[in-house]
Amino acid sequence: MSVETQKETLGFQTEVKQLLHLMIHSLYSNKEIFLRELISNASDAVDKLRFEALSKPELLEGGAELKIRVSFDKDAQTVTLEDNGIGMSREDVITHLGTIAKSGTADFMKNLTGDQKKDSHLIGQFGVGFYSAFIVADQVEVFSRRAGLPASEGVHWSSKGEGEFEVATVEKADRGTRIVLHLKKAEDEFADGYRLRNIIKKYSDHIALPIELPKEQIAVEGEPAPVQEWETVNRASALWTRPRTEVKDEEYQEFYKHIAHDFENPLAWSHNKVEGKLEYNSLLYVPARAPFDLYQREAPRGLKLYVQRVFVMDQAESFLPLYLRFIKGVVDSNDLSLNVSREILQKDPIIDSMKSALTKRVLDMLEKLAKNQPEEYKGFWKNFGQVMKEGPAEDFANKEKIAGLLRFASTSDESGEQSVSLAEYLARGKEGQDKIYYLTGESYAQVKNSPHLEVFRKKGIEVLLLTDRIDEWLMSYLSDFDGKGFVDVARGDLDLGKLDSEEDKKAQEEVAKDKEGLIERLKAALGDAVSEVRVSHRLTDSPAILAIGEQDLGLQMRQILEASGQKVPDSKPIFEFNPTHPLIGKLDNEQSEERFGELSHILFDQAALAAGDSLKDPAAYVRRLNKLLVELSV
């Protein structure tokens, strides 16, 4: 055994301690995944070496045959996994095996509940990686040397998975990493060739390099021990290069878990080979759950990029737009050069063509999911709906296609779920309806009870209810769908077109003319607080509402801009009143201008509250209301 020098004991990062404890206690029902995770990491290490060796062939150190070996020792109760990939330096080992430098770690830890069953799903969503070794081992040793470093700079890492680990410098002749698992007494089933072979075939058959196990050999008494021979137990070919008809669903699912470091099966996938002007293979997946860093737009994202089966880049973001950042997968091109960089990808016209085709492929996959598996699509929408709403602004070419995938709450469904598609909305529209009506607001409770919906309820017209913070911004990029324009029912002068009879329109004109005197009095009373006063065609039960000017920012956008410290352009609402409401009748008959002004301001403030806005002067509102209550009680 090599002499150890520079030995030191270090403590795990707090998050690692939590993760280790949870994995050991939560994943006991699926212990065998430890081998899948370690093989996946070894495969990544080999891919990285292959890529770095393109520009520095000396890193191969004369050994270009890349592979992973898994062995076991029944007597010592160990399982050993070895790769001849890129390896790790002492600094790499301390960084990668002592901390979790993963985007979303804080959110992950915050979401842990202490319920082992629930937490096991979260752990799988986060990715278990190297630490899964402690599910079956009570001690783990790692021997590694980074390619290009001298043999004297090997490193030995050791831990019992509790609070600390040891690191020492050792002699290591070969580059790469060897992991030795000292199995717990109850886990001796894994020190068995047949068991290991089955796990590798089940989880890692798709790994595109040989995974070798020792051949079983019979020792003959009196003869020297035979030289150890190895046999490849996996298919060792790139799964995405195989014909679709030859790949089983289980293989697609396991390959997803390998590239995404996910624990759950994907919702859907699309495997495609393109030939002609461009030649490439793609295999794209829709995850079942959102990652913790989904809303961190700067977080690493993208597809694994291969060029002629050689791994070139992890998380190549140039192949899909930002709103599809949750998609996982592989793209393997025959047209790009092996020394391609992120900068080159951003400028290469080949990439633009591939990006356009891959984006359409993802949208087609989602359309198919929505059509054939509506329940699964509901789950997808809950996880990724807000990100999909970024699409119309980013991807003008596919705006109609993205709009077809959007889901909304509506007045036709009391559940408040975002489950109504635009196609469904139009299919059940009223005869003569040529618009898609919607209302934005802060919460479902607020918008479903909004006075703006009163005339729509009376006429049986469905209205989409939009309550996500992004919705008003989204609608500024959606002008129409299937030839039908969108109308914000709280904006401008409501025109129901053919849904209003000629008698209705004539009656509205007459009422407006009859109330001209009241309109002038209200204008004088409300002054600079409003841009206009008019008779409302929206109301049936409420006395008054505030409408937004056609070109003005809505409440949602104003709040977002104000929260981010941006200057918001000045705008004033339109005050609309219901001429048939008893309060308006009393207001019209009020002789005292002072009292008229007080009552007008109370109605204005109530309308602002009903719209979800905050009052500019709450104390004045309370004072006026209290004064009115005193008068009524006298």
Binding site for ATP: residue ranges? 37, 41, 83, 88, 102-104, 125-130, 177, 342
What does the alpha-carbon distance between residue 174 and residue 416 come to, in Å, rounded to a whole number?
Answer: 61
Q: How many CB atoms sit inside 10 A of residue 428's CB?
A: 11
Cα dihedral 306, 310, 311, 313 sign? negative
How many other C-beta atoms can be found within 10 angstroms of the C-beta atom of residue 409? 22
The binding site consists of 37, 41, 83, 88, 102-104, 125-130, 177, 342
| Diameter of the chain measured on Cα atoms | 123
Measure the CA–CA gap between 265 and 288, rounded to whole angstroms: 7
Classify residue 3 as exposed, middle or buried by CB count within 10 Å of its CB (0-12, 13-18, 19+): exposed
In 370-526, DSSP assigns E strands to 409-410, 435-440, 464-466, 480-481, 484-488
Write the DSSP string, 7-42: EEEEEPPHHHHHHHHHHHHHSGGGTTHHHHHHHHHH
Report helix, strand or coil for 543. coil
Distance between CA atoms of residues 96 and 179, nearest Å? 14
- List, as one string, the DSSP characters of 472-511: HHHHTT--EETTEEEEETTBSS---GGGS-HHHHHHHHHH
Given a contact cutoff of 8 angstroms between Cβ atoms, the answer to whether 148 and 54 are in contact is no
- The pair of structure tokens assigned to 614 is 């905050």
What backbone phi and psi angles, to 5 degrees, belong to 180? -110, 120
Tell me the pairing of strands 68-73 and 211-214. Answer: parallel
Q: Kindly list the distances between the CA atom of residue 622 and the CA atoms of 573, 602, 605, 610, 616, in Å, as whole numbers in the listed order.
A: 21, 9, 10, 16, 12
Which long-range contacts link 609-617 to residues 24+ away (Cβ below 8 Å)? 610/450, 610/451, 610/542, 610/545, 611/441, 611/450, 611/452, 611/490, 611/545, 611/546, 611/555, 612/441, 612/442, 612/443, 612/446, 612/447, 612/555, 613/546, 613/555
160 Cβ contact list (under 8 Å, min separation 6)? 138, 139
* CB atoms inside a 10 Å sphere around CB 545: 25
CA distances from 599 to 272, 521, 526, 541 (A): 68, 12, 10, 18
Of 451, 593, 452, nearest to 522 by C-alpha is 593
The size of the chain, in residues, is 634
- Please tell me whether residue 519 adopts helix, strand or coil conformation: helix
Assess contact for 382 and 347: CB atoms under 8 A.
no
